[in-house]
Amino acid sequence: MIVNDQMKVVSHEKIAKNIFELVLHGELVNQIKAPGQFVHVKVGTGIDPLLRRPISIAAHNQEEQSMTLIYRAEGKGTKLLSLVDIGETVDILGPLGNGFTVEEGESKTALLVGGGIGVPPLYGLSKSLIAKGWEVKHILGFQDRSVSFYKERFEELGETFIATVDGSLGTKGFVTDVIQKEAPGFDEYFSCGPTPMLKALQSRLEMKSGFISLEERMGCGIGACFACVCHKQDDPDGYSYVKVCSDGPVFPAGVVQL
Ligand SMILES: Cc1cc2nc3c(=O)[nH]c(=O)nc-3n(C[C@H](O)[C@H](O)[C@H](O)COP(=O)(O)OP(=O)(O)OC[C@H]3O[C@@H](n4cnc5c(N)ncnc54)[C@H](O)[C@@H]3O)c2cc1C
Ligand code: FES
């Protein structure tokens, strides 16, 4: 069920350049069904900015009713969010969308590939996969070392490779360069990040089964406004589309035109 909760800020820390980790407490957490779901965050107190900001749930703890969001303070809304203090409340709508399906994975290996602000939902996903018996490997891509985060957290869960565009951390280049160089063995892949990264990954891993999570611009977040529509791969007449907010944001690889 989607709820609107005034969630209390438990902690709020800068963890890399312009990257913040926000831990919130509230009953909304009881409704979270799957890793990869997101919430719609109201930033500021008045009507400006009008639109909520979609942010993935990076992790949650149902017993403690807490959830972690990791976001980049970039534009007007996320910069406003970065000013929120411990003890204050944030207006959150969610959980929204369909997350990653996590099946039993005894003796199977998952490759999790994240780019930039697409990395956060993979942290909760990795934990859920491990709980279902999967071995996990991670490839995380960042612009450079200064904006990288959660390297050690992912390393605690499984083998972790980093790629940075300028080579200041890990392999110089993109996540696809790591795949080519390290050739990690795996059964299925799970990915979230910018569209060009997802496109390159999908084409390189064409023969593998996988899931991708899209970060399309959104309006309502609940399937009512059509702001987040994407065409399906198989779309002969131009009318076959999905709404990323309510049909996704997670889709099997190959379903959506990137
Ligand atoms: C399903 C989903 C999950 C996401 N998860 C995360 C996350 O975990 N961490 C994180 O840092 N970011 C995440 N994003 C991207 C995040 O929503 C945008 O970075 C953010 O909305 C930008 O807002 P702003 O106030 O900084 O920028 P502004 O320029 O002020 O935003 C103006 C408008 O454009 C939209 N917008 C701008 N950039 C994006 C973008 N890249 N994607 C979608 N909408 C955008 C804003 O929501 C807003 O409506 C996610 C996006 C989606 C769709
Ligand atoms: S954001 Fe309104 S339909 Fe998806």
Q: How far is the CA of 73 from the centre of ligand 1 (A)?
A: 10
Q: What is the 3-state secondary structure (H, E, C) of 105-130?
A: CCCCEEEEEEEHHHCHHHHHHHHHHH
Distant-in-sequence, close-in-space partners of 148: CB < 8 Å, separation ≥ 6: 16, 140, 142, 162, 164, 169
**CA gap 120, 193 in Å, rounded:** 10
**CA gap 142, 150 in Å, rounded:** 11
Residue with tokens 């500021």: 44
Ligand 2 site, residue 227, Cβ cutoff 6 A: yes
What are 132's two structure tokens?
A: 């279902």
Instruction: Confirm or deny that 72 is annotated as ligand binding.
Output: yes
pLDDT score of 154: 98
Burial class, 8, CB count within 10 angstroms (exposed 0-12 / middle 13-18 / buried 19+): middle
- Residue 160's nearest CA partner among 149, 147, 144 is 149
Ligand 2 site, residue 54, Cβ cutoff 6 A: no
| Residue among 218, 247, 251, 256 whose CB has most ligand 2 atoms within 8 A, to mutate | 218
CA distances from 197 to 6, 116, 231 (A): 35, 10, 18
Q: How far is the CA of 217 from the centre of ligand 1 (A)?
A: 7
Ligand 2 site, residue 216, Cβ cutoff 6 A: no
What are 134's two structure tokens?
A: 């999967």
Going by their DSSP bridges, the two strands 241-243 and 250-252 should be labelled as unpaired
Instruction: Confirm or deny that 230 is annotated as ligand binding.
Output: no
pLDDT score of 193: 96
- Residue 144's nearest CA partner among 119, 118, 170 is 170
Which residues have C-beta atoms less than 6 Å from ligand 1? 38, 51, 53-56, 70-72, 74-78, 117, 120, 215-218, 249
Going by the DSSP 8-state scheme, the letter that residue 85 receives in this structure is P
Give me the torsion for CA of 172, 217, 58, 1, rounded to 10°.
-160
Q: Which ligand neighbours the alpha carbon of 227 most closely? A: 2
**CA gap 71, 116 in Å, rounded:** 10
Per-residue pLDDT of the chain (258 residues; tens, 9 = 90+): 999 999 999 999 999 999 999 999 999 999 999 999 999 999 988 888 889 999 999 999 999 999 999 999 999 999 999 999 999 999 999 999 999 999 998 889 999 999 999 999 999 999 999 999 999 999 999 999 999 999 999 999 999 999 999 999 999 999 999 998 887 899 999 999 999 999 999 999 999 999 999 988 999 999 999 999 999 988 777 778 999 999 999 999 999 999
- Domains of the chain, start order: 3-96 (2.40.30.10), 100-212 (3.40.50.80), 216-258 (2.10.240.10)
Angle of helix 175-182 relative to helix 195-204, nearest 10 degrees, comes to: 20
Q: Could you tell me if 66 and 57 are in contact, meaning their C-beta atoms sit under 8 angstroms apart?
A: no
**CA gap 145, 213 in Å, rounded:** 24
pLDDT score of 45: 81
- Residue 252's nearest CA partner among 197, 202, 200, 215 is 202
